[in-house]
Structure 1
Amino acid sequence: MPPTKFSPKLHHEATVIRSAIQSRLLVLTLILLWRTLLSSYDTSASINPDCLSTIPSQKNVLFHSLGLAIESSIVWDSVYFVRIAECGYEYEQIYAFFPLLPLCMSFLSRTVLAPLVPVIGQRAVLGLSGYVINNIGFVFAAVYLYRLSVVILKDQEAAVRASVLFCFNPASIFYSSIYSETLFALFSVGGLYHLISGKDVIAVLWFALSGFSRSNGVLNAGYFCFQTMHQAYDAVFLRKRPFLALQAVVGGALRCICIFVPFIAFQAYGYNNLCLGHLPSDMRPWCKARVPLLYNYIQSHYWGVGFLRYFQVKQLPNFLLASPILSLALCSIVHYAKSKPEKFFSLGFRAPPEDKDSAAVLFSLAAYSSRSQENRTRKQVNKDGPALLPEEHKVATRFLSFSPPLYWFASYIMKSRGTGKRWGCIVWAYSAAYILLGSLLFSNFYPFT
């Protein structure tokens, strides 16, 4: 029988999968290396008080030192995700962390990895579950980015370059740690791919899951808003059928509501746990608000997040740290505006029908750029629960790291005539430097985003 010939697309997809696996192995190896060679700045990661519930934690394990090594790798926000998976939402502060990742960790630790609990301990198994979920999920996220890129760019070589760049992106440390970045990227990019493929129902489900992993997942509703806006415009002005416009608006509104449901449901869950059954004098201030939003209160009260609060002279180093990704984002927007000014400034209304959904993806960059600031925290444990100490850092690198247009633009400039090789060296040097720096600082409890 003649040897089976794989299509170029399957060959390229295999390349992306191989690159995603290699990049995760690289990051995990660097984490182990730096933690072996250096001492952590903050050693509080090993503190593990029992849950407030009556469930006792398991102390006698077979390989205690191995379990302790895994536990000590749980730093920064990973502490909260593991704590939620183990104990649930015990304190008001930890409602800032959405439940999809902790639920997945809890499920995996109780099923596939359950036999490891007597070997390394419950908390170590939960941490290991987080590592497994995020590193495997990253491979699927890279595959979906490649498939989306093929549809949008209509160039498989460019799609491969963009996807490989994503595999070695500057925020790689967070995609291999116990953070929500991987699941958010997977469901956001996967939702985009299904949307572009015409599978609106599946896209809604994926976008809703992205909102179940991070608060800014609700912004994915913007794709359906954009789509609905164009459908209504076409129905009224091109097809002269206002009833179709009404159908489009109602359908788009229902899809957006479905994407908002996880966020609203989680806020309602917090309100039920923290507000109901308490006397008015004992209620937290946010419980008495006309629209009680726990997430907004936590951001403001515990982390000091507010309009323009971050813009201070002392934050200049953090702005410098974020400047490469912000510059790349700005350049990509300017380049697109210059190359296709009519489509850009008309918001795609003058684009051919087959380019309508593609325009929605290209306009996504600006939406996510507006959310490129968040505060991070460090954990301390005391008798009143984990206190959140505000440590503000510019996290544009993380928030923009999953945005497809960044990698499409980087892929484009790397093949530009004359300057492509130089830009390629700059882009790869930037990614390599941030992977090395991130794995060194983050894994040893130094601030990095």
Structure 2
Amino acid sequence: MAINKLAANSDYERIVIASAIASRILLLFLIVFWRSLVSPYDTSASLNPACLIDSSSSPLAGQPVLFPRIGSAIESSIVWDGVHFVRIAECGYEYEKSYAFLPLLPLCISFLSRTVLLPLVPVIGHRAVLGLSGYLINNIAFVLAARYLFRLSHIILKDAEAAMRASILFCFNPASIFYSSLYTESLYSLFSLGGLYHLMSGRNCVSALWLALSSCARSNGVLNAGYICFLSMHWACDALLLKKCFRRALQVLITGALNCVCIFAPFVVFQAYGYYNICSGRLPDEMRPWCKARVPLLYNFVQSHYWGVGFLRYFRFEQLPNFLLASPILSLAFFSIVHYGKSRPKLLLSVGFQATAEDRNSAAMLYFPERVPRPSMPRHMVASSSGLQGNQNLRRKKQIIGQDPAKLPVEDKTFNGSGYSSAFVIPFILHMGFMAATAIFVMHVQVATRFLSASPPLYWFASYVMVNPGRFKRWGYIIWAYSVAYILLGSLLFSNFYPFT
């Protein structure tokens, strides 16, 4: 029986990988299709002035190429933030505002263009190779991210079918265009989801390294340290209050703190790098304002000064269309949090400390890390063969008279060990709630569609909604319609340099 389950799980994972590849091929087709029909709003994407810092960074740049039309087509597809990432990969950080873009993607682009894809420079040109490198990196990273989401979801939900549904939803998520473009969403998703999978599998050190790479891709990667803090808090409580072992509690807290430092380190080092380049060695009158601050954070200054990011600064009437554009993803996040809160109010309000015995047994990694099994089989399959009987619970659906996702039925106690109401979901809910609040009150709100697109609870909740009988199925259709509409709209607008999220 266990062998059959493992085979089925492997089949589900292959379906997820195939869906991820198919979705990337679909996006590529849509981009080419729309660009052949619609004239770009801005045709300056192919302009590429010489590097200010080191114009000889690429000895082959500027030389004639064999297929200039192919190179020109690739260069013209480099739009929006992709222009900055390619420029940084080619020339380094030349301008103060460039430091809003963290270095992982530019470093990967530069490395690939100077190694594997270097022979293509005389064929299509240096900048086209940089763009092609970014496309390859991000699309491959997306496929791997979908795979890790399936494995993570399997551990959390303890249901391979639900994990597969959630992962397929991720493959066709509303922000899909950014995962196939020169943006950091794919790399961030890969390392954040991969890091969380390793964390929930008991590989804490490996997890810290992966999550550190996520903070090297996007600034919000530092928030992933919250997962380490959450688990460390519960483990220390278990050691101190239940086992009366102060030494073990102290060890857990110190280890958690070191892992958090590891996650914060790339972002802090990058800020120090910016300070050294812009502020170091200058007279006080020549320094930029942020250099003189008590805590000189270049990233915060650039976001505020150049892009107008700040608390409530986007709350203006003329920004109402952008709030409407972000309203679907924010509504989905809101309903998913409200439903979990209604299902498990004590568990959520106590941040997991008022857990039942069933919760503690089903979420052993959360409460009793020493009980996590170390089998020889792949870690993402541990939940289906560990003796827990939660896999069949999600199949026992109640007959529901539905109204809206926020009023989904409170689940029976037999559902509490697995599925969306699992105690495992708490840290993910807290993380997503904080990010959603940040998107609404601090950031450019339209960015919420891609900012929240790597949050697993969105797909877990949507997967849960879709399998409920009765009128709840209509919400599944609405979610799919929303994803398809944003994929079509995004591939049309974004690829032709029109504003989109």
Question: Does 1:353 find its partner at 2:363?
Answer: no
Question: Does 1:418 find its partner at 2:470?
Answer: yes
CA-to-aligned-CA distance 1:179-225 (integer Å, 9 cap, x gap): 00000011111111001000000100000000000111000000011
CA distance in 2, matches of 1:375, 1:79: 25
Maintained 8 Å contact 2:63/2:122: no
Map of 1:305 onto structure 2? 309
1:427 to 468, 475, 479: 479
CA distance in 2, matches of 1:426, 1:437: 16
Map of 2:22 onto structure 1? 22
CA-to-aligned-CA distance 1:4-27 (integer Å, 9 cap, x gap): 998001100010010000000111
Maintained 8 Å contact 2:313/2:442: no
| Deviation, structure 1 residue 448 | 0.5
| Deviation, structure 1 residue 231 | 1.7
Question: Does 1:400 find its partner at 2:431?
Answer: no
Map of 2:147 onto structure 1? 143
CA distance in 2, matches of 1:375, 1:174: 21
Q: Which amino acid aligns with 1:135?
A: N
| Deviation, structure 1 residue 367 | 2.6
Q: 1:250 to 1:13 in 2, by over 3 A?
A: same
Query: Matched residue of 2:307: which SS?
Result: coil
Q: 1:373 to 1:272 in 2, by over 3 A?
A: farther
Query: Matched residue of 1:371: which SS?
Result: helix
1:369 to 402, 423, 436: 436
| Deviation, structure 1 residue 234 | 1.7
CA distance in 2, matches of 1:327, 1:410: 12
Shifted more, 39-48 versus 194-203: the winner is 39-48
Q: Which amino acid aligns with 2:346?
A: E
Q: Which amino acid aligns with 1:398?
A: R
| Deviation, structure 1 residue 236 | 2.4
CA-to-aligned-CA distance 1:11-65 (integer Å, 9 cap, x gap): 0001001000000011111111111111111112121111112316324111111
Question: How do residues 108-257 of structure 1 correspond to structure 2 at under 5 angstroms?
Answer: 108-257=112-261
CA distance in 1, matches of 2:351, 2:339: 15
Question: Does 1:445 find its partner at 2:445?
Answer: no
Using the size of structure 1 for normalisation, the TM-score is: 0.93
Query: Matched residue of 2:470: which SS?
Result: coil
CA distance in 1, matches of 2:90, 2:490: 27
Map of 1:54 onto structure 2? 55
| Deviation, structure 1 residue 402 | 0.8
CA-to-aligned-CA distance 1:87-136 (integer Å, 9 cap, x gap): 00011110100000000001111111111000000000000000000001
Question: How do residues 332-343 of structure 1 correspond to structure 2 at under 5 angstroms?
Answer: 332-343=336-347
Map of 1:280 onto structure 2? 284
Query: Matched residue of 1:394: which SS?
Result: helix
CA distance in 1, matches of 2:129, 2:23: 23
| Deviation, structure 1 residue 368 | 2.3
CA-to-aligned-CA distance 1:309-343 (integer Å, 9 cap, x gap): 01111111111111111111011011111111221
| Deviation, structure 1 residue 307 | 1.2
Maintained 8 Å contact 1:373/1:395: no
Maintained 8 Å contact 1:27/1:176: yes
Map of 2:400 onto structure 1? none
CA distance in 2, matches of 1:136, 1:14: 15
Query: Matched residue of 1:179: which SS?
Result: coil
CA distance in 2, matches of 1:287, 1:14: 51
Map of 1:382 onto structure 2? none
Maintained 8 Å contact 1:303/1:375: no
Which has a greater percent of strand?
A: 1
Using the size of structure 2 for normalisation, the TM-score is: 0.84
Q: Mind listing any 5+ residue stretches in structure 2 that lack a counterpart?
A: 367-423
| Deviation, structure 1 residue 419 | 2.3
Q: Which amino acid aligns with 2:51?
A: C
| Deviation, structure 1 residue 68 | 0.7
Q: 1:226 to 1:6 in 2, by over 3 A?
A: closer
Map of 2:97 onto structure 1? 93
CA distance in 1, matches of 2:301, 2:231: 32
Q: 1:374 to 1:49 in 2, by over 3 A?
A: farther
CA distance in 2, matches of 1:398, 1:370: 14
Shifted more, 231-240 versus 356-365: the winner is 356-365
Q: 1:307 to 1:274 in 2, by over 3 A?
A: same
| Deviation, structure 1 residue 67 | 0.4
Map of 2:415 onto structure 1? none
Moved >3 Å (runs of 4+)? 373-376
Aligned-CA RMSD value? 1.7
Question: Does 1:436 find its partner at 2:488?
Answer: yes
| Deviation, structure 1 residue 374 | 9.6
Q: Mind listing any 5+ residue stretches in structure 1 that lack a counterpart?
A: 377-391
CA distance in 1, matches of 2:215, 2:31: 29
Q: Which amino acid aligns with 1:353?
A: R
Question: Does 1:262 find its partner at 2:262?
Answer: no
